Amino acid sequence: MASNVVKPGSPKGTSVMIIGDIRENSKITSTGAVTGGSEGPCRVQWFRTPSSILESSDGFEALRTPKIAKAFHIPLGIVGLYIVAKFTLMAPDGESGEPAYAISDNSIVPFHLA
């Protein structure tokens, strides 16, 4: 009697955080812990939003970045907004895990005030 091959679950990011100075022209990064499945590469997409409350992605506006990466350079001209990181882990076979989100604790301040 043969049984089906058991495949590990998709990895999931938890405890996602944005690290760095939340000000124009500064570099920030995103990090998180991994649960479930086998960890592969990580994709981080960056957004801006006027709200400090992370309820749904409806108010998110994608920030143009040359690549999907853990590090991000905050552009000029978005003072007063909050940064959101969408943290998605990938399994070694390329399957995406469930995304996790983090929002900056403070809104972006001008680089000359920080």
**How much is the pTM?**
0.82
Residue 4 lies in a domain: no
Record the tokens describing residue 50, joined without a space. 């006027």
Specify if 54 maps to a domain.
Answer: yes
Q: Say which residues have a Cβ less than 8 Å from residue 2's Cβ, sequence separation at least 6.
A: none
Q: Compute mean pLDDT per 10 residues along the chain, 114 residues long, and list them.
A: 70 88 94 76 89 81 77 91 91 81 94 66
- Maximum distance among all alpha carbons in the chain? 70
Does residue 1 form part of some domain?
no
Q: Are 37 and 12 in contact (CB under 8 A)?
A: yes
Domain CATH number, residue 71:
2.60.40
Rounded-to-integer distance, Cα 98 and Cα 65, Å: 22
**Residue 77 domain flag:** yes
Residue 43 CA to residue 32 CA, distance in Å, equals 12
